[in-house]
Structure 1
Amino acid sequence: MNKVVLLATLASVITLAGCSSTSNIDNSAGRATVYEDARSPGKVQGVGVESQDIMAVTDQMMRDMLSNPQLVSRDVAPRIIIDSQYFTNESSSRINKNMLTDRLRINLNRASNGRLVFVGREYADMVEKERELKRMGVVDGGTIRATQATAGADFRLVGRIMSLDAMDTRSQERSRYHQITFELVDLELGTYVWSGMYEFQKTAQDDVIYR
């Protein structure tokens, strides 16, 4: 009789232990994805370059370039290269530079209405291969007239992202000042025809990881 009671007791303990272990598992659905305004600080914030900074700086540079008569008031629209090849990140912030240069070029191309012409120099190999196929007769000439050479550029974008960091060891607050410069260089003379700069500073108790 004692053996039967003991076995029943052990079975009850095992059953209760199993119920206890499974009750700690959260089987509820995860929080749904929340869309945020990219122009405003999101719920996850740090001291690095974030979406609202990228949009603000490129919008300001676009407006400044479109108000420069040396660029938009010429009889013949200037040819410009805007990519990240000569746009360097010397800051302590991790950022994909193409996010800045691509957004600036695309918005300028849309807003300039032909007053500026943009040369896709990073795709030069692709263009040369297609030109070679046309001239060899492998494909027809397309609908655009043949040219002696691909488009040369008048100006090219250069620039830097720089930062200055500070940290309060008592409060563990981090502060980072960013200075982002944009300039257009004359590709014949080597002179600067336009310069722009954007500055901002952020402070946070804890920084976040940027990927």
Structure 2
Amino acid sequence: MLNFLNRTAALTLLGSSLVLTTGMLAGCATTVERVDTSEEIALSDQWNAKDSELVANEMIGDMLSFPWASEFEMDNNRKPAVIVQRISNKSHEHIAVDTFINDIKRAVVRSGKANFVAAGDARDQLRDERRDQELNSADAKAMGQEKAADFALSGTINSIVDEAGKKRVTFYQVDLSLIDMESNIEVWSGQKKIQKLQKR
């Protein structure tokens, strides 16, 4: 009888421990929720997706407001073709430059004022695809008809960090310039600054 009571007490204690442990684990569980991608969520003072989108939209809007685009279209009876030559991350942190370049591409294409030319690897992939099409289809687009760029966009992303006590200010500066590929003349130069304050 005593043995049975000890066993029952041990099982009760074990059951209580499991319930308590499960409750504690449930209380510590991480929750995840989906949010609208247009909503800004600033968890730190680092460069984020919203910064990338805002800078791209503002700078491309400014770039396309300059007369080079309308003058080119008037002289050539077509929209100018733009390519991103190089954007370098010279900031203190890792920035996904490809994401920024994609935001720039979207801003250019959505404007309807210029066309965007695929660069580097993307062009190589298109050439391979065209070769495959030509081998397999009589009406595939002919090789060598890809569009050359009229203007090249390049630039840098820089940053400065200033910290004192429980405050840190991070300053980002994006500089972009657009070059006429034929004349090598810089037809536009733009700059966008972002300053973020983080308090601990």
What TM-score do the two structures reach when normalised by structure 2?
0.80
Alignment counterpart, residue 175 of structure 2, candidates 160, 181, 184: 181
Distance across 2 between alignment mates of 1:73 and 1:39 = 37
- In the other structure, the counterpart of 2:123 is 124
CA deviations 1:72-126 (Å, max 9, x no partner) are: 33222222113xx5111111232211211112212221222xx312211232213
Q: Is the 8 A contact 2:171 2:196 kept in 1?
A: yes
- In the other structure, the counterpart of 1:66 is 64
Any residues of structure 2 matched to 1:1-211 within 5 Å, and which?
Answer: 4-5=1-2, 7-22=3-18, 23-26=20-23, 27=26, 31=31, 33-36=33-36, 38-40=38-40, 42=41, 45-74=43-72, 75=74, 76=76, 77-82=79-84, 86-112=86-112, 115-122=113-120, 123-132=122-131, 138-142=136-140, 146=142, 149-168=145-164, 170-171=165-166, 173-205=167-199
Give secondary structure in 1 for the equivalent of 2:105: helix
Q: Is the 8 A contact 1:39 1:55 kept in 2?
A: no
- In structure 2, the CA distance between the partners of 1:192 and 1:134, relative to structure 1 (3 Å rule), is same
CA deviations 1:23-49 (Å, max 9, x no partner) are: 231358864514145343x2x511111
Stretch moving more, 71-80 or 89-98:
71-80
User: What is the CA RMSD across the aligned residues, in angstroms?
Assistant: 2.7
CA deviations 1:169-196 (Å, max 9, x no partner) are: x32x322110011211222343321111
Gaps of 5+ in 1: 207-211
- In structure 2, the CA distance between the partners of 1:55 and 1:134, relative to structure 1 (3 Å rule), is closer
Larger % of helix: which?
2
Q: Is the 8 A contact 1:72 1:116 kept in 2?
A: no
Distance across 1 between alignment mates of 2:66 and 2:36 = 34
Query: % of aligned pairs identical?
Result: 22
Amino acid at match of 2:126: V
What TM-score do the two structures reach when normalised by structure 1?
0.76
